[in-house]
């Protein structure tokens, strides 16, 4: 059963579900606007690794203010369940767009430029996305490009940057097809990790 409210936010519908979170379209009565609310699945509530990663995402994205990064409005807990509130934006993922076929060189160049600008903004602040892929890139109906899901982002200069990349289920943090060699073997990630992934995305665009 879907929740009726998450904190002060009135849930309208579920709009997405991934391995680490469920996303709801909700209404914020305080500001009279629709928002996207990202909620940690209940099966992970007692897992400090997943929970800590979710909370880190909120603080990480909140520090990033860039036109090509979806902004965070709020963060909190509802009955012990953490949630992240982001701007709701209409559109589809770049992965959805690629299912229709390759892009033109002009369109690919525009998308690459915006992704690169978003990553540069994050990298200048010591933040590595670590899971860049078409599914984490939103393209709005008017052609704006937004980088999503810094859920496995890590501050590159942090002491735990070489910590294990494995989930409790034994999988890797990130998406294997887009991982650089250093990420696969569990070595220290860097801005080069995102540049490698961006190169894979560019190959797919064309």
Cβ atoms of 139 and 91 within 8 Å: the answer is yes
What secondary structure, in 3-state letters, does 138-177 show?
Answer: EECCCCCEEECCCCCCEECCCCCCCCCCECCCCCECCCHH
Beta bridge partners of 72: 86
Cβ atoms of 179 and 172 within 8 Å: the answer is yes
Verify whether residue 131 is a known catalytic residue.
yes
From 131, 142, 187, 194, the catalytic residue = 131
Cβ atoms of 173 and 150 within 8 Å: the answer is no
Rg of the chain taking only CA atoms, in angstroms:
17
Catalytic positions: 131
């Amino acid at each position: 059963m879907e929740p009726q409210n998450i904190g002060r936010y009135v849930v309208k519908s579920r709009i997405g579900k991934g391995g680490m979170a469920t996303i709801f379209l909700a209404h914020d009565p305080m500001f009279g606007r629709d928002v996207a609310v990202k909620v940690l699945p209940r099966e992970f509530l007692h897992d400090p690794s997943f929970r800590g990663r979710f909370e880190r995402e909120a603080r990480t994205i909140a520090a990033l203010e860039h036109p090509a990064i979806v902004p965070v409005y709020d963060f909190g807990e509802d009955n012990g369940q953490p949630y992240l509130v982001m701007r709701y934006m209409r559109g589809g993922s770049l992965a959805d767009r690629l299912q229709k076929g390759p892009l033109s060189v002009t369109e690919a160049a525009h998308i690459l430029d915006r992704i690169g600008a978003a990553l540069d903004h994050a990298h200048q602040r010591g933040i590595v996305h670590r899971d860049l892929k078409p599914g984490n890139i939103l393209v709005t109906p008017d052609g704006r490009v937004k980088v999503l899901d810094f859920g496995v982002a890590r501050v590159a200069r942090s002491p735990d940057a070489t910590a294990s990349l494995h989930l409790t289920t034994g999988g890797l943090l990130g998406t294997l097809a887009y991982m650089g060699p250093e990420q696969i073997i569990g070595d220290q990630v860097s801005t080069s990790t995102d540049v490698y992934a961006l190169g894979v995305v560019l190959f797919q665009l064309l």
